[in-house]
Amino acid sequence: MPLFGKSQKSPQELVKALKEAVNSLERGDKKAEKAQEDVSKNLRMENRSHFTIWPTARRSCCSSFSSNAFRPIRFRTRYSLSSGRPASQSTTRGVVYVRDFGNDFTFFPPNTLPFLGRVLIKNMLYGTSDAEPQTEIVVSQLAHELYSTNLLLLLIQNLNRIDFEGKKDVAQIFNNVLRRQIGTRSPTVEYICTKPEILFTLMAGYEHQEIALNCGTMLRECARYEALAKIMLHSDEFFNFFRYVEVSTFDIASDAFSTFKELLTRHKILCAEFLEQNYDKVFNHYEQLLNSENYVTRRQSLKLLGELLLDRHNFTVMTKYISNPDNLKLMMNMLKEKSRNIQFEAFHVFKVFVANPNKPKPILDILLRNQEKLVDFLTRFHTDRSEDEQFNDEKAYLIKQIKELKPAPDQ
What does DSSP assign to residue 185?
B
Closest CA to 354 of 317, 403, 282, 283: 403
The reported pLDDT for the residue numbered 85 is 43
The reported pLDDT for the residue numbered 122 is 55
Distance of alpha carbon 204 from alpha carbon 191, whole angstroms: 20
The reported pLDDT for the residue numbered 241 is 98
In SS3 terms, 67-100 reads as CCCCEEEEEEEEEECCCCCEEEEEEEEEEEEEEE
Contacts of 249 (CB under 8 A, 6+ apart): 209, 212
The reported pLDDT for the residue numbered 136 is 67
The reported pLDDT for the residue numbered 16 is 79
The reported pLDDT for the residue numbered 10 is 74
Question: Going by DSSP bridges, is the β-strand pair 71-80/50-53 parallel, antiparallel, or unpaired?
Answer: antiparallel
Other CB atoms within a 10 A radius of the CB of residue 49 amount to 12
8 Å CB contact between 3 and 127: no
The reported pLDDT for the residue numbered 9 is 65
8 Å CB contact between 237 and 204: yes
Closest CA to 34 of 92, 95, 78: 95
158: Cα separation from own chain's centroid: 17
Low-confidence ranges of the chain (pLDDT < 50): 1-7, 30, 34-120, 411
In tens, the pLDDT along 16-26 reads 777 777 777 77
Closest CA to 207 of 159, 138, 142, 170: 159
Closest CA to 4 of 107, 118, 123: 107
Whole-model pTM?
Answer: 0.75
Distance of alpha carbon 217 from alpha carbon 202, whole angstroms: 10
Closest CA to 176 of 185, 184, 165, 186: 186
8 Å CB contact between 193 and 57: no
Radius of gyration of the chain (CA): 29
50-53 β-sheet, strand order: 50-53, 71-80, 86-101, 104-108
Q: What are phi and psi of 100, to 5 degrees?
A: -95, 120
Residue 51: helix, strand or coil by DSSP?
Answer: strand
CA distances in angstroms from 367 to 245, 322, 347, 350, listed in the order given: 33, 13, 15, 11
